Structure 1
């Protein structure tokens, strides 16, 4: 059956009636996940149309339309979503519909740049995709949990389809509530999932969008053009680990390194968005750090825990976080990319790639956790941007670049690792002035338990142990 034959007025009328039945069946508020892509747009438009057919007296239950902003979304998509959310809000007031919109974002200590540049997390890969949970799942789940705390239970409306993948179909079936259109959320208590386009195919989605005008004033043909220009699929709102994430040339984070090439960004640039070139170049720089032959160049041999692990029986250590010096280089190049993309962007665009709050948090992490006594973040910002930002004044005892130089000479003289002493001094600094210092000894013990020997010494010891075992 073709989409045209399937999406008859009668068939759509039944879909609308189902949505109305689910909406009117209880007092649980709805949270609609909207990513700006075809599937979430189709689901939201179906819900909007169905509720619009109800009498105003029946449209009392709130419907929260949430969009996930990872703070590293492709600027073209950010612009499209922002404009759409504004239109949705205006149209909801005009039509007296219970829709309200909100963007959810990661907390500052969980953002992409704070983790990658601040803590030194390596660029995400298929084996270590640390970004999805921090940037997408946690912010969306926090919003849902807040609604659960407020109302007791909540229904999450998602534009997911069983035909997306066999895994998705299996998960949807596994959590299905018998005799209901709802499924239980895979991880959140008192949250339920409703998928109004579960039975739709890709062709069904596009047919519906092109045959039914957007009720909030968008032109769905613009969405088709955006997909065509990017040659991409939708990056869905992710609310659990079963939701398919990005990383397959989809709309989404411009920094995504889960794939070897960002074909979506390349296609956007080829279609006329040349101002995005600095973003693609920076993204490709991050991707280059995943080359196994070059990892030693960019990353520490110690893990963030301070321990050293080796790959199998080899003498190659499992790479740790990015080196601080490389993080400094990344920050400088990111800010230069921001200046360049703002210079080249169309009027009214000028996207901010990293915000001031993130810069302050990176500065804090470098000074307190990574021994950056020279306090280089303000210097890098001033050099790249040509101006200062408002920095937070520190009341705690702080060391300087001269102190770091003196300490390094003393440690070299006594053959003591400088980083070890830096961390011990930072523990004392953080506890300075406190009346209760019971945790200081625990933190000192944790630092002393870390591996402070150099890599050559560790490899030599490892080889000696192997030789002894072979005898």
Structure 2
């Protein structure tokens, strides 16, 4: 019989945490015929995915009628996480576990949207479109399609943990008792997504809510990769975060070169490793995204802008989309960064990357050649660094001083 986490010398260091996870799944799992696991490829969702499957395999929790893994592929993940996710998906396939890769439609993918359509890279002040567009909306659509197939509801299992985000923690504290959930049994909710197609059809459970980051590292680096616990390809996930050296506050990753992060802490950690040092050209992404947002690379409304109802918009002379020259410059830079990484990867016999694949590149060039602009822009507006009279929201004008 296959050993489990609960036998003698092979007990998890923090086995009480695992036992609470088992209790959580035993309390809420049987009430739902169909389960889904929301998986981002990061540390918490990967620990959740592999632990739940291990517990099913060794008989600690009863399997549902159907289990679907939803992998959120943003196409912008840090390479070690994307590579590990690909290997884990191969392992899921060999186990007969259904895994759906959830990706945004081609025209809404991060780099196609920026370089093909001309929408400036996101920032924290005025334009934070990326998370919704490349992760939330595609996942909502995938869930709706799966729910239609099942003809009923689904229990979505997530990797949410306390300590992962101060804002998220406060939300958990305010609602931890919702729908009869007991403290310590995970964050269970029946009142969930507001999206029209899935409203009232999903409950969620966070069975690792109580895990500390050290529990996660132990599972990913020591237990999950062991044949006794499934032989999962999780060790490199922990390494991507710095493993045991990482503090909870720094144990988070985002996209490679994320424009919303002040520092590339995760990428810095990765390229500090000899095995991943060849990824260092990716450090050029963040400066490129900042450069693309500069006035000389964007258009600007020259006068007052009026809405469909005839009212005047409150932000006259707002900066807008990227010029075609800026988009082509950005495309060339990203392809160059990718090429540098892959030349070094081949020399070192390491995995290559494709942050921009051939299909996406072709679509970007097509949209540029077709003269594509975001809605509300004609392309004949001046560049944002063009001197002009200053307009104010109250309708007053300060003439250009010459």
Shorter-chain TM-score: what band? 0.7 to 0.9
Question: What residue is the counterpart of 2:194 in the other structure?
Answer: 187
> Which runs of structure 2 are paired with 1:270-285 in the superposition (5 Å)?
270-272=272-274, 273-285=276-288
Q: Distance in 2 between matches of 1:260 and 1:167?
A: 18
Q: CA deviation at 1:222?
A: 4.4
Give the number of the structure whose residues are more often helix, by fraction: 1
Normalised by the length of structure 2, the TM-score is 0.75
- Residue 163 of structure 2 aligns to a residue whose secondary structure is helix
Matched, 1:32 2:37: yes
> Which runs of structure 2 are paired with 1:231-250 in the superposition (5 Å)?
250=252
Q: Distance in 2 between matches of 1:464 and 1:212?
A: 65
Greater C-alpha radius of gyration = 1
> Which runs of structure 2 are paired with 1:59-458 in the superposition (5 Å)?
59-90=63-94, 92-93=95-96, 99-127=97-125, 128-151=127-150, 152-172=152-172, 173-174=174-175, 177-180=178-181, 182-183=188-189, 184-188=191-195, 189=199, 190-209=201-220, 212-214=223-225, 215-218=229-232, 221-228=235-242, 250-272=252-274, 273-290=276-293, 295-302=294-301, 317-345=317-345, 346-347=348-349, 349-370=351-372
Question: What residue is the counterpart of 2:389 in the other structure?
Answer: 459
Matched, 1:19 2:2: no
Pair 102,460 (structure 1): closer, same or farther in 2 beyond 3 Å: closer
- Residue 179 of structure 2 aligns to a residue whose secondary structure is coil
Q: CA deviation at 1:59?
A: 3.2
Kept in 1: contact 2:104–2:135 (CA 8 A): yes
Listed as ranges, the gaps of 5+ residues in structure 1 are: 94-98, 235-246, 372-422, 424-442
Pair 77,209 (structure 1): closer, same or farther in 2 beyond 3 Å: closer
Structure 1 segments of 4+ aligned residues over 6 angstroms from their partners: 229-234, 305-312, 453-457, 460-464
Q: CA deviation at 1:177?
A: 3.8
Q: CA deviation at 1:135?
A: 1.0
Q: Higher relative CO (CA 8 A, sep ≥ 6), structure 1 or 2?
A: 2
Pair 38,302 (structure 1): closer, same or farther in 2 beyond 3 Å: same
Kept in 2: contact 1:249–1:259 (CA 8 A): no
Aligned-residue CA RMSD (Å): 4.0
Question: What residue is the counterpart of 1:426 in the other structure?
Answer: none
Q: CA deviation at 1:53?
A: 4.0
Q: Distance in 2 between matches of 1:5 and 1:363?
A: 52
Q: Distance in 1 between matches of 2:395 and 2:219?
A: 69
Pair 319,248 (structure 1): closer, same or farther in 2 beyond 3 Å: farther
Q: CA deviation at 1:166?
A: 4.3
Aligned residues: 363
Q: Distance in 2 between matches of 1:43 and 1:88?
A: 14
Q: CA deviation at 1:451?
A: 8.6
